[in-house]
Amino acid sequence: MSKLTIDQLTHPQKVRLLYKTVLRLHRGLPEELKELGDKYVRDEFRRHLKCSPMETQLFMTEWAKYAATISKQLGIKGKPLGKIGDELDVECVEMLNDDQVVQLYELMLAAKGLEGDVITADDVRKK
């Protein structure tokens, strides 16, 4: 029996494979990052179940880049080799829409343990 290549997988199979790969990579993270990351991944993949084909392509590309980055940072043994994560450059942040800025802000609060603070897309638009 021959193994399937990525190109032979259906779209749902590719999404599932990427989802499971990211969760598997998170096992190598410190526990608090793993919990936060797993929750975020679940929410993001659920949120994008019914997006347009163009959004789906971008979504899959960005999550594949994330998986590759985390994989390099964890190394072969799955333990951090140094710094985990990457800095967001200004150009990347400026390309985000209001809802994405809110989501990024909420993620930052969760990472810092300040989840009680709330900001809405309307707050972002006022600035």
Asked if residue 3 is part of any domain, the answer here is no
Q: In this model, does residue 121 exceed pLDDT 60?
A: no
Question: To the nearest whole number, what is the mean pLDDT of the chain?
Answer: 82
Range(s) of the domain holding residue 93: 87-127
Q: What is the pLDDT of residues 31-83, one digit of tens each?
A: 888 999 999 999 999 988 888 889 999 999 999 999 999 998 888 666 666 67
Helix, strand, coil distribution of the chain in percent, nearest 5:
65, 0, 35
- Widest pairwise Cα distance in the chain: 59
Q: pTM for the complete prediction?
A: 0.71
Give me the mean pLDDT over the 104-117 stretch.
Answer: 72
Distance CA 123, CA 77 (A): 43
40 and 96 within one domain: no
68 and 124 within one domain: no
91 and 73 within one domain: no
76 and 109 within one domain: no
Higher pLDDT, 87 or 51: 51
